[in-house]
Chain A
Amino acid sequence: MIGKTLKELSAALANKQISSVELTQLHLDRIARLNPEINAFVTVDTEKSLAQADAADARIAAGMADPLTGIPIAQKDIFCAKGWRTTCGSRMLGNFVSPYDATVISKFDAAGAVNLGKTNMDEFAMGSSNETSYFGAVKNPWDIQRVPGGSSGGSAAAVAALMAPAATGTDTGGSIRQPAALCNLTGLKPTYGVVSRWGMIAFASSLDQAGPMARTAEDCALMLNAMAGFDDKDSTSLDRTTEDYSRELAANVGEKPLAGLKIGLPKEFFGEGCDAGVMTCVQDAIAEYKKLGAETVEVSLPNMQHGVAAYYVIAPAEASSNLSRFDGVRYGYRAPEYGNLDDMYQKSRAQGFGDEVKRRILIGTYVLSHGYYDAYYLQAQRIRRLIAQDFVDAFKQCDVIMGPTSPCTAFGLGEKSADPVQMYLSDIYTIAVNLAGLPGMSIPCGFSSGLPVGLQLIGDYFAETRLNIAHRYQQTTGWHLKQAQE
């Protein structure tokens, strides 16, 4: 049962081939064995998980099961879960036990899924390698000398090491797609506003979006069915009719199932700056799509080149404000010794936050400061609108946009951590999608020097179901089935 898809596990549970308690215990055992090396989980609570599994078994026995009932799912430690320690990868929240559930957690609970544990992540989701976590770096199961990507690196490594059948992630500038690419997973960042942000600890509110990380596109659709939906507790949640994200999975069969599909290839994605090995895999994947009947058209995203710069103004600006609540007054880390109030703030935040978080708070505070706001923050917002408009224009010529997810495969631990700008460029292909608020996906499309490569699919607003073309690809290719060897 280890390494199976959600769809397969759902059937196995329904057929009573295995109970949820057994399935959960199998994964907990695997976590106990592999996690000390991989470090994908920050918190595991066997008792809580098994209690949920027990309840799921009763629900299955009563014939009340939903597709995810009884399936253990790892939760990124950015989601508040009642009674669970919720750290966000930070010393600041090292002792924080949430008194309430994030909407994403409530929705998985309502679906009968089992919370398998909280996964490691870059501190406050700030990073592309999972090396900024207070709880230590996560190792890539494909090569434990390498990073799994970030910030949802713990979730990616947990699924890639078969410690969890699937996991949640969040994506502010590529934090689902890039680790999915580096760990040979299928990861989906939905349109901004599709999944509620209530209870998801904010990094950059206007960019953050939660989504699934799993082995297949089909599993991502099942996960998203559970996660998506309007939430009156999140003012930026979109009030739309409920979607069945798996509804188009069975469509478009036959010899040329994708006949008529127009794939836009932005020339900016295929220029310099991408590893040759990655590019070869991406080109092969596009060729495969053509075989399935799709045609390609060159499009342009002329303002994308400014995306990383704009992102590193907007995201830190919002973060600098979002992270102000971590002041040591009401909860979280407080320095053991301090003089007056200012000293308490300074010491608590100096000791509670890591370097990358401090760097972004400083940048964010600077760009919002009097006299700099117009030049940085407003200018970045203008670029953001231009980038969104570039996509609107591009989607007049095509149905979906494709390119690499990450310019490189998994890099070595410590390789980029001394050079923040190099690290930031890991997200060069993913950031524009967040700035525009579009849905984006990464699917496995081959290997370069033995390391996984991801193909990025970008859809128009709310075109998540259109990304069923990932499923078509996975029906004729086997890259997503490849698993890391222990």
Chain B
Amino acid sequence: MSMNNWEVVIGIETHAQLSTQSKIFSGASTAFGAEPNTQACAVDLALPGVLPVLNRGAVDCAIKFGLAIGAEVAAKSVFARKNYFYPDLPKGYQISQFELPVVVGGKLTIQVGQGENLREKTVNLTRAHLEEDAGKSLHEDFHGKSGIDLNRAGTPLLEIVTEPDMRSSAEAVAYARALHALVRWIGICDGNMQEGSFRCDANVSVRRPGQPLGTRREIKNLNSFRFMQQAIDYEVQWQIAEIEDGRAIQQATVLFDPDTGETRMMRSKEDAHDYRYFPDPDLLPLIISPDWIERTRKTMPELPEAKKQRFVADYGLSAYDAAALTGSLEIADFYEATVSAAGKPSAKPCANWVMVDLAARLNKDDKEFGQSPVSAKQLGGLVARIADNTISNNIAKKVFEALWNGEGSSADEIIEKQGLKQITDTGAIEALIDEVLAANAAMVAEFKAGKEKAFNALVGQAMKATKGKANPQQVNELLKKKLA
């Protein structure tokens, strides 16, 4: 079996839990982690006689998403009932959107690969629609019975569906990451995958290039990017093996088992429900006026693509740096706050400090940008002291570590307290060099004999004598002059 002459086709459906305070059709809280069934009101419990009322905050989220991906925000969309029986589906139907979704079309640009192989690709979206989540069935600790927790029932979801545009697990994961970054960027979803706030289904099929689409199997509920990659890779190999062994692929829904790394069938097409969708008579069609869209547009943050271009234009960053600094709104905001503290001429060194030094330090301690012990203002203050030659780059690393450890409230305070100010007085440096030359006659002799390396050793001695505080450039120049 080989991947040669097989084309992989993937489409992704994502359920993004929307960051509203209350549920999509009731006033109950959406907060995660409460005691079972404490955040389920009469509507969520589907008591007799209750009625849904649409939370306009959820619609705001859908509009933001539509604007962010350049989609059409539908002037009229319709809520429909998806009918099926399940214990954690209290009404016996889920309120969703079927024929007329709130968001139509749109695209998302993704970055695939790394380094020289980095390339951009555009993924087309089919639609995004609003719906309510179900509750949870708990199958343990109930003396052989199942428990039902309806806290999650009625939580607003945006289901985001792509065209079958992706051609590898890497592209699928790149799309999922880009979407994950975007929904967090525009503040409609917290993106917490462990808590199920962002979960993906992957529709996977394979075909010979140029042939019509193959039969797809849908991998449900992928709640990490790593699992998505593993699940798709396994599924692709499995489908190719089946076809090469002469067996046709049957349409099915499968689950990925992270323990075995395999996908296994949940239900076949024959077991598929007839959901008997019809417009929900309890809800009027959702009418979104151009006015509502414009009001929402005004509350949107600058989008990643626009910000990236501005970083290149305003700060003189490379496209690569600009892309990295707009990987999330948190990083971009951190970066801009750093520049604002350091001064715009230091925009490039700020980029390095944020992307390299700070990022590495955060990574080491497994922290996010939002949890950085060094604030953007502190980091900007530090970069400013490098720019005005108060400290060298090397000393700056020390100051950074001191800031990280909370040894002072600003770079200036630490420099002052720890006497790290760079020595730039020519007279003082000259005197120092004279001392070094006197104490290291052997090295001087070596240098004069043509050993270039001895020069660096002498610089090192001079720096060591000042605990690194001497301006290295001045040391270099004066030493050269003395030895000439």
Q: List A residues at the B interface (Cβ < 8 Å).
A: 79-80, 86, 88, 93, 96, 98-100, 102, 197-202, 204-206, 232-236, 317-318, 320-321, 323-327, 329-331, 341, 345, 365, 368-370, 373, 377
- Bound CA span A204–B278, Å: 13
Q: Residue among B51, B52, B53, B274 with the most chain A CB within 10 A?
A: B51
Q: With an 8 A cutoff between CB atoms, is B156 at the interface? A: no
Which residue of the partner chain, among A199, A318, A341, contacts B87 with CB atoms under 8 Å? A341
> Which chain B residue shows the least CB distance to A365?
B276
Closest 5 pairs between A and B when the two form their complex, measured CB to CB: A324-B92, A368-B276, A206-B281, A205-B281, A199-B49
A325 touches B276 (CB 8 A): no
Q: Residue among B49, B81, B87, B284 with the most chain A CB within 10 A?
A: B49
> Which chain A residue shows the least CB distance to B273?
A370
- Bound CA span A246–B92, Å: 42
Produce 1/0 per residue, B26-65, CB < 8 A to A: 0000000000000000100111111111100000000000
- Bound CA span A21–B320, Å: 83
Produce 1/0 per residue, B299-318, CB < 8 A to A: 00000000000000000000
A324 touches B91 (CB 8 A): yes
Q: A99-B42, A199-B49, A331-B47 given as contacts; is B276 within 8 A of A321 (CB)?
A: yes
A199 touches B50 (CB 8 A): yes
Q: A201-B49, A369-B274 given as contacts; is B284 within 8 A of A325 (CB)?
A: no
A235 touches B49 (CB 8 A): no
Produce 1/0 per residue, B429-463, CB < 8 A to A: 00000000000000000000000000000000000
Which residue of the partner chain, among A93, A234, A321, contacts B48 with CB atoms under 8 Å? A93
B47 touches A98 (CB 8 A): yes
Q: Separation in Å of the B457 CB from the closest CB of chain A?
A: 80
CB neighbors of A among B369-402 (8 A): none
> Which chain A residue shows the least CB distance to B84?
A324
A370 contacts across to B, CB distance below 8 A: 274, 276
Q: With an 8 A cutoff between CB atoms, is B328 at the interface? A: no
Which residue of the partner chain, among A102, A317, A326, contacts B49 with CB atoms under 8 Å? A102
Which residue of the partner chain, among B48, B54, B277, B278, contacts A80 with CB atoms under 8 Å? B48
Q: Separation in Å of the A121 CB from the closest CB of chain B?
A: 13
B45 touches A235 (CB 8 A): no
Which residue of the partner chain, among A197, A327, A331, contacts B92 with CB atoms under 8 Å? A327
> Which chain A residue shows the least CB distance to B282?
A205
A327 contacts across to B, CB distance below 8 A: 85, 87, 92
Q: With an 8 A cutoff between CB atoms, is B424 at the interface? A: no
- Bound CA span A93–B93, Å: 20
Which residue of the partner chain, among B47, B83, B90, contacts A321 with CB atoms under 8 Å? B83
Q: Separation in Å of the A314 CB from the closest CB of chain B?
A: 9
B91 contacts across to A, CB distance below 8 A: 324-325
Q: With an 8 A cutoff between CB atoms, is B148 at the interface? A: yes
5 sample A-B contacts, Cβ–Cβ < 8 Å, listed by A number: A198-B49, A199-B49, A204-B281, A368-B277, A368-B278
Q: Separation in Å of the A452 CB from the closest CB of chain B?
A: 31
Q: Separation in Å of the B48 CB from the closest CB of chain A?
A: 4
Q: A233-B53, A327-B85 given as contacts; is B42 within 8 A of A96 (CB)?
A: no
List 15 extra interface pairs beyond A236-B281, A370-B276, CB under 8 A.
A79-B49, A80-B48, A198-B51, A202-B49, A205-B282, A206-B281, A234-B53, A235-B283, A321-B81, A321-B83, A321-B278, A327-B92, A329-B87, A329-B90, A373-B278
B92 touches A321 (CB 8 A): yes
Q: Separation in Å of the A180 CB from the closest CB of chain B?
A: 23
Q: Separation in Å of the B295 CB from the closest CB of chain A?
A: 21
A88 contacts across to B, CB distance below 8 A: 48
B90 touches A235 (CB 8 A): no
Q: Separation in Å of the A309 CB from the closest CB of chain B?
A: 18
Q: Separation in Å of the B23 CB from the closest CB of chain A?
A: 14
Q: A99-B42, A201-B48, A329-B148 given as contacts; is B284 within 8 A of A317 (CB)?
A: no
- Bound CA span A365–B81, Å: 13
A200 touches B49 (CB 8 A): yes
B85 contacts across to A, CB distance below 8 A: 324, 327, 345
- Bound CA span A176–B48, Å: 21
B47 touches A80 (CB 8 A): yes
A377 touches B281 (CB 8 A): no
> Which chain B residue shows the least CB distance to A199?
B49
Q: Separation in Å of the B280 CB from the closest CB of chain A?
A: 8
Q: Residue among A98, A197, A320, A327 with the most chain B CB within 10 A?
A: A327
Q: Separation in Å of the A208 CB from the closest CB of chain B?
A: 9
A232 contacts across to B, CB distance below 8 A: 53
- Bound CA span A365–B46, Å: 20
> Which chain A residue shows the least CB distance to B25?
A235
Q: Separation in Å of the A201 CB from the closest CB of chain B?
A: 4
> Which chain B residue shows the least CB distance to A93?
B48
A234 touches B47 (CB 8 A): no
A233 contacts across to B, CB distance below 8 A: 51, 53
B81 contacts across to A, CB distance below 8 A: 321
- Bound CA span A332–B444, Å: 98
Which residue of the partner chain, among B83, B277, B282, contacts A235 with CB atoms under 8 Å? B282
- Bound CA span A316–B157, Å: 29
> Which chain B residue shows the least CB distance to A317?
B278
A235 touches B52 (CB 8 A): yes
B47 contacts across to A, CB distance below 8 A: 80, 98-100, 331
A324 contacts across to B, CB distance below 8 A: 83, 85, 91-93
Q: Separation in Å of the A318 CB from the closest CB of chain B?
A: 6
- Bound CA span A206–B281, Å: 5
Q: Separation in Å of the B351 CB from the closest CB of chain A?
A: 51
Produce 1/0 per residue, B259-297, CB < 8 A to A: 000000000000000101110011110000000000000
Q: A200-B49, A201-B48 given as contacts; is B42 within 8 A of A100 (CB)?
A: yes
